Chains A and B, each alone.
Chain A
Amino acid sequence: MVGQLASRRAAGVILEMIKDGHIAGRAVLIAGQPGTGKTAIAMGIAQSLGPDTPFTALAGSEIFSLEMSKTEALSQAFRKAIGVRIKEETEIIEGEVVEIQIDRPATGTGAKVGKLTLKTTEMETIYDLGNKMIDSLSKEKVQAGDVITIDKATGKISKLGRSFTRARDYDAMGAQTQFVQCPEGELQKRKEVVHTVSLHEIDVINSRTQGFLALFSGDTGEIKSEVREQINAKVCEWREEGKAEIIPGVLFIDEVHMLDMECFSFLNRALESDLSPVLIMATNRGITRIRGTNYQSPHGIPIDLLDRLLIIATSPYTEKETRQILKIRCEEEDVELSEEAHTVLTRIGMETSLRYAIQLISTAGLVCRKRKGTEVQVEDIKRVYSLFLDEARSSQYMKEYQDSFLFNETQNAPMDTS
């Protein structure tokens, strides 16, 4: 990342606090002009948190939908950002099958008995088999040379693959045959797996009207508050028994000024609950009307919520930073830029907007390729600059020619209704 030193340092402090689990239930606002890297900072925080901390991003306008109320969408987002860590523990027997010996009774019916020899790199042992185990072994088509695991509690057998040492037993073999190493260490192992699931996922599974199929359809609809309460209670019980850890994640709401008054009061309330993630919001508005009211407020956020926030400000990039960002962008898009073109582009970036300059990179790259050049020259930039308008020139154009546009309202004198 380039520039924004102060705000990045602030974000770093917040990141450390999130990692230590200190600021659950707090909120951060990233405020700044358009194109000053607010979203980039939030994405950076998400990246540094690693895959273990849940991170949910949504845009302010995403919560307005016909299927779901605004607060439902928000509380789902909140619960997606809270992870629950649980541990699964199983005793398994894992080894390579050396030999299976099954004695069938002479009469054809009756109990079968058998012996199964398993080995690891360190040891080898013989198990006596009962009728049930023999059945499941033959159902899984286990042969000598397979590497298998047996779940001790349930007796379930699963095949992991064939041992490498037996790789040349047959020439004709399906492509799906997997070769694995002979397991190491003891035969009877304890397998511990730690899972992280989000509260929302548990909600969906337990929401009775939907059943577990809802997870796959993607459309979950509304979840009853009783279901949520039950799950909260269960998770808290697990936490007290030492069976679960709660990981407050991060919920990032971009364009937060798109939320209306109801949402803001919901946020206020939700931040106070004991299961609450870190809320990061971003906005590019100054003092503006709060959506759904006629009141003006800084960032379009009510003062009472604003009071709870840690605010990080981003400032416009300097010329040097702009230059560097454009350079990184060029490398990303595989566009070679000549030195003069780079300077021109930086000027454009400073005078219009950084986003516009970035748009020009790829278009200039295309123009350059059309004339079979290898490096984007000033002429290419000039050409695309004349072809595509930036925001300022576009509005200038509007002002000049607005009479000839359709539905233009600014010039019309108020209709005489008397």
Chain B
Amino acid sequence: MDAVSQRVMKYLTEVEEGAEDILTAKQQIVDLDTRRNRNREALNALKTGMSDSEKVKVCFGNMFIKFPKSMTRQMIQRDQEQLEKEINNIREGLKAKVSCLNEMQGQPELRGYNLSPLSSDEIKAMNILLKR
């Protein structure tokens, strides 16, 4: 291969890698959100029904273990917080990846998405303008 086609090849590989990276991150968010929702369902299920002293069966991998209810709840809540944090991190990283890909493909970057959002009060005040 001559130098030109090698350069094109390298460029295309970079673009493809960038795109693949974005898709992976998106899929990761979906997977984490699935887990988050399942945890939420579990917490709801723990809220209703039986008394606090009872033990519940928790599935770890391919094994069911009887576990005290309060401890289970704490465990899931901790997991939930961790998930929230991870999803937020991936979302932040996603923006950088998308603008990187846009730059590689010579597309204009998305402007304004790196601003910090207005607070809900401020948005409420601006809404008259925004919902034109």
Query: Which residues does A use to contact B, with CB under 8 Å?
Result: 52, 85-89, 122-123, 125-126, 128, 153, 185-188, 190, 192, 194-197, 201-202, 205, 212, 215, 238, 241-245
Contacts and interface: CB of A to CB of B under 8 A. Distances in A.
Nearest to A247: B111
B69 interface: no
Contact of B37 (A125, A153, A215): A125
A228 B83 CA distance: 45
Contact of B115 (A185, A188, A190, A242): A242
A195 B130 contact: yes
B37 A197 contact: no
Contact of B130 (A88, A122, A238, A243): A88
Contacts of B26: 185
Interface in B40-85: 40-41, 44
A122 B112 CA distance: 30
Contacts of B111: 52, 85, 194, 245
A319 B38 CA distance: 76
Given A87-B117, A89-B117, 14 more contacts: A52-B111, A85-B115, A86-B118, A86-B126, A88-B130, A122-B34, A186-B32, A187-B37, A192-B117, A194-B112, A195-B126, A205-B128, A243-B115, A245-B112
B129 A190 contact: no
A123 B40 CA distance: 14
A192 B113 contact: yes
A71 B40 CA distance: 60
20 contacts: A52-B111, A85-B115, A86-B126, A87-B115, A87-B117, A88-B123, A125-B34, A125-B40, A153-B120, A185-B29, A185-B30, A188-B36, A188-B37, A192-B113, A197-B130, A201-B129, A205-B129, A242-B115, A243-B118, A245-B115
B103 interface: no
- Secondary structure type dominating chain B contacts: helix
Interface of B: 26, 29-30, 32-34, 36-38, 40-41, 44, 91, 110-113, 115-118, 120, 122-123, 126, 128-130
B118 A88 contact: yes
B120 to A, nearest CB: 6
A386 B117 CA distance: 66
Contacts of A153: 120
B86 to A, nearest CB: 13
Contacts of B34: 122-123, 125, 186
A125 B38 contact: yes
B116 A241 contact: yes
Contact of A123 (B30, B112, B120): B30
A11 to B, nearest CB: 21
Contacts of B32: 186
A246 to B, nearest CB: 11
Contacts of A126: 41
A194 B40 contact: no
B30 A243 contact: no
Contacts of B126: 86, 195, 197, 202
Contacts of A188: 33, 36-37
Contacts of A241: 116
Given A187-B37, A188-B33, A212 B128 contact: yes
B33 A123 contact: yes
B113 A202 contact: no
Given A153-B120, A188-B33, A188-B37, A87 B113 contact: yes
Nearest to B44: A128
A318 B129 CA distance: 48
Nearest to A241: B116
B118 to A, nearest CB: 6
